[in-house]
């Protein structure tokens, strides 16, 4: 290759500045569709789950145990951010708010993510335990949601499912490696599974909103995913020779994340994510 | 692998002749070819330094991933920093073909025995630094790196082709960040100009000392590793910046900067090499911080790497036992 083949000026011309197109996110699916209030609330739940997790995984970049994991966790974070942007964009159509209005200008009680997503990264084993449970759940969820009667949700779910399949595979492999690696990694993996497990139950909790939407074939009833989730988790943990803690903690009696009640971890996460945008109200970036 | 020391003098002479011939024809040297020990050492040093620069270079930008002011910017920045990890991987692989392991290179880095580009020892206090790094630092890197796509060592040249394609996107996103800021509020414009003021001179220093003070350049040019002199590349870079700065509406912080019709080059103020040497000597704004952070990531991840290694060993042993 000669120098003439590559433009050292990096192709910077004013009329070619449409980088947003290279990052399908907002508007990737269902351009023009407007969500009803119920659908918007449902999309917000799913979008917040994805965005909070993307934010957490982004913290690993340049801190991962090996370069391959900087790349892998970065990839997963990017996928989740893409899902979040599509879902928040759709959620915002009901009230005329943009994905950034929703991401940067809502306070804690307005966030709808489940608690497991806001639990801190911890050590690598905790990140992997969270990834394993969440990706297994999301894979089943998006699989079913891809036949939603709402075409926008169906399209987003179909795209997301393929990516979440990789996330699940990545996490499963690490659960097995850490459980079957050294004494230390096994001890850490067991602790991480035990610490994360209590947050799993909330993912499968039905409420009036999802029941209403599920009866129209728009949403997936979370409880309907539980059996398949347990089957996969049991299979992987059996191979890893890890036993689940007994008893499923149901401490979401307060309503949990879906009703805007959160653990202590969401506040600092949002403060960091929103700080710059809030210093410059009305600015465009 | 046969080390050059094991070869007889006759073989060395034959190897040297073949090597000289390949260089004269501007062909590629491949990992299995005979090469002078100094050529091998120069390449290991240069490629590993380049890899380390990609890895350390992730830090000043990952600083803003969690605070990026829009989701689009967050996605672009994440992709960019992830690309840098990928570049580090290609480059470590290219260096490994010369007979050094990734572990050895990583140890050299975290023990402070290896160098990386001094530019990453500057800090990124504002969001506009993401724009200035993309536009100026990646812009300078492109000027340096495009000629390396033709470097005589095959694996290095090929790695650089992939890297340059992505760097072009990195520079564009930096330019776009600055353009958006310059078209924004007063506070945003000030932020952009301030970042350009801080990054302009360090980016010019990325091309290295002036030609008459660059001791290793002549040999690297004779070996077809380096294609243009430091000053030539610096001129090319400034020539690229000037029209782009006009489009952005930022001022390049050098009152003496002007195109000289007679020489066909840009006149510019003297670069403050004292600062360059200070940063190079480890006394830059963030040298200690960058190394500490890399060391922490490496040490905190040790148990994970050991686990992966041990798991692979057990799996292999199990497979062997099943065969037996």
Q: Which of residues 186-205 of A touch B (CB under 8 A)?
A: 188
Check pLDDT > 80 for residue A236.
Answer: yes
Q: Which of residues 245-274 of B touch A (CB under 8 A)?
A: 247
Cβ atoms of residues B203 and B136 within 8 Å: yes
Tokens standing for A181? 């690696």
Residue A232 maps to a domain = yes
Q: What are the C-alpha distances in Å from A136 to residues A46, A195, A249, B85?
A: 15, 17, 19, 27
| SS3 category, B29 | strand
Check pLDDT > 80 for residue A275.
Answer: yes
Q: How would residue B3 be classed by pLDDT, with cut points 50, 70 and 90?
A: low
Full domain range(s) for residue A211: 33-262
Q: How would residue A248 be classed by pLDDT, with cut points 50, 70 and 90?
A: low
Check pLDDT > 80 for residue B255.
Answer: yes
> Average of pLDDT values for A215-239?
97
Output the pLDDT for position A62.
Answer: 95
Check pLDDT > 80 for residue A23.
Answer: no
Cα–Cα distance measured from residue B60 to residue B195, given in angstroms and rounded to the nearest whole number: 13
Output the pLDDT for position A30.
Answer: 56
Residue A18 maps to a domain = no
Shortest Cα–Cα distance, B252 to chain A (Å): 17
Q: Which of residues 16-55 of B touch A (CB under 8 A)?
A: 55
B131 by Cβ neighbours in 10 Å (0-12 / 13-18 / 19+) ranks as: buried
Backbone φ and ψ of B201, nearest 5°: -65, -45
Tell how many helices (H) and how many strands (E) occur in chain B.
Answer: 14, 2
| CA angle centred on B156, ends B154 and B160, rounded to 5° | 115
Which of B67, B78, B81 is nearest residue A276 as measured by Cβ atoms?
Answer: B67
In chain B, residues with a C-beta closer than 8 Å to the C-beta of A2 are 150
Cα–Cα distance measured from residue B98 to residue B95, given in angstroms and rounded to the nearest whole number: 5
In chain B, residues with a C-beta closer than 8 Å to the C-beta of A19 are 72, 76, 169, 172-173, 176
Residue A5 maps to a domain = no
Residue A285 maps to a domain = no
Asked if B82 lies within 8 A of A71 by C-beta distance, the reply is yes
Residues with Cβ within 8 Å of residue B124, at least 6 apart in sequence: B60, B61, B63, B64, B130, B133
DSSP 8-state class, residue B98: T
Residue A239 maps to a domain = yes
Check pLDDT > 70 for residue A28.
Answer: no
Read off the pTM: 0.92
**Which helix (H) or strand (E) covers residue B87, if one does?**
helix B71-96
Output the pLDDT for position A2.
Answer: 44
Asked if B311 lies within 8 A of A62 by C-beta distance, the reply is no
Please indicate if any CB of chain B lies within 8 Å of the CB of A24.
no
Residue A23 maps to a domain = no
Residue A14 maps to a domain = no
For the stretch B174-222, pLDDT in tens is 999 999 999 999 999 999 999 999 999 999 999 999 988 877 778 888 8
In chain A, residues with a C-beta closer than 8 Å to the C-beta of B161 are 1
Evaluated on CA atoms B105, B111, B114, B119, the torsion sign reads positive
Cα–Cα distance measured from residue A275 to residue A267, given in angstroms and rounded to the nearest whole number: 12
Residue A132 maps to a domain = yes
Shortest Cα–Cα distance, A281 to chain B (Å): 10
Asked if A6 lies within 8 A of B307 by C-beta distance, the reply is no
Provide the number of structural domains found in chain A.
Answer: 1
For the stretch B104-156, pLDDT in tens is 999 999 999 999 999 999 999 999 999 999 999 999 999 989 889 989 999 99
> Average of pLDDT values for A269-282?
97
Asked if A78 lies within 8 A of B79 by C-beta distance, the reply is yes
Instruction: Find the CATH number of the domain harbouring A205.
Output: 1.20.1260.10
Which of B69, B179, B296 is nearest residue A276 as measured by Cβ atoms?
Answer: B69
């Amino acid at each position: 290759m000669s120098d003439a083949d590559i433009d050292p000026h990096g192709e910077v011309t004013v009329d070619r500045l449409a980088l947003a197109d290279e990052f399908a996110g907002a508007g990737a699916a269902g351009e023009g569709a407007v969500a009803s209030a119920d659908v918007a609330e449902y999309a917000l739940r799913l979008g917040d789950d994805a965005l909070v997790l993307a934010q957490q995984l982004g913290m690993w970049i340049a801190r991962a145990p090996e370069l391959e994991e900087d790349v892998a966790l970065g990839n997963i974070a990017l996928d989740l951010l893409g899902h979040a942007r599509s879902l928040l964009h759709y959620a915002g159509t009901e009230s005329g708010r943009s994905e950034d209005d929703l991401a940067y200008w809502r306070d804690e009680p307005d966030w709808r993510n489940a608690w497991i997503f806001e639990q801190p990264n911890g050590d690598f084993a905790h990140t992997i335990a969270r990834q394993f449970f969440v990706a297994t759940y999301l894979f089943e969820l998006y699989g079913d949601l891809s036949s939603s009667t709402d075409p926008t949700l169906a399209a987003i779910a179909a795209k997301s499912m393929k990516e979440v399949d990789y996330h699940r595979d990545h996490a499963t492999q690490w659960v097995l490696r850490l459980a079957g690696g050294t004494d230390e990694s096994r001890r850490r993996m067991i602790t991480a599974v035990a610490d994360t497990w209590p947050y799993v139950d909330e993912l499968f909790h039905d409420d009036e909103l999802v029941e209403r939407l599920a009866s129209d074939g728009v949403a997936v009833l979370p409880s309907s995913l539980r059996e398949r989730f347990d089957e996969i988790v049991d299979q992987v943990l059996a191979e890893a020779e890890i036993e689940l803690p007994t008893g499923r903690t149901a401490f979401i009696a307060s309503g949990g994340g879906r009703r805007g009640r959160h653990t202590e971890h969401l506040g600092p996460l949002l403060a960091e994510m929103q700080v710059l945008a809030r210093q410059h109200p009305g600015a465009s970036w | 692998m046969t080390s050059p020391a094991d070869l007889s003098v006759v073989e060395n002479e034959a190897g040297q002749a073949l090597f000289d011939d390949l260089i004269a024809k501007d062909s590629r040297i491949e990992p299995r070819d005979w090469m002078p020990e100094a050529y091998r050492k120069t390449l290991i040093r240069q490629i590993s330094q380049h890899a380390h620069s990609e890895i350390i270079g992730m830090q000043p930008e990952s600083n803003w991933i969690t605070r990026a002011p829009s989701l689009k910017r967050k996605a672009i920045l994440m992709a960019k920093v992830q690309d840098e990890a990928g570049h580090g991987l290609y480059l470590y692989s290219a260096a490994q073909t010369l007979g050094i392991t990734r572990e050895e290179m990583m140890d050299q880095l975290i023990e402070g025995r290896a160098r990386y580009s001094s530019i990453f020892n500057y800090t990124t206090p504002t969001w506009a630094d993401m724009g200035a790094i993309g536009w100026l630092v990646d812009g300078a890197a492109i000027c340096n790196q495009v000629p390396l796509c033709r470097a005589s060592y095959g694996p290095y040249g090929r790695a650089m082709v992939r890297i340059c394609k992505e760097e072009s996107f990195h520079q564009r996103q930096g330019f776009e960040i600055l353009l958006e800021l310059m078209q924004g509020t007063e506070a945003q414009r000030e932020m952009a100009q301030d970042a350009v003021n801080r990054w302009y001179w360090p980016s010019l220093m990325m091309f290295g000392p002036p030609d008459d003070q660059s001791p290793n350049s002549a040999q690297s040019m004779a070996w077809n590793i380096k294609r243009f002199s430091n000053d030539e590349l610096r001129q090319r870079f400034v020539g690229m910046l000037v029209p782009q700065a006009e489009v952005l509406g930022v001022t390049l912080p050098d009152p003496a900067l002007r195109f000289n019709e007679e020489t066909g080059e840009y006149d510019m103020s003297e670069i403050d090499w004292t600062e360059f040497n200070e940063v190079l000597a480890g006394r830059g704004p963030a040298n200690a911080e960058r190394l500490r952070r890399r060391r922490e990531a490496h040490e905190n991840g040790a148990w994970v790497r050991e686990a992966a290694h041990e798991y692979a060993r057990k799996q292999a042993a199990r497979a062997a036992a099943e065969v037996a």
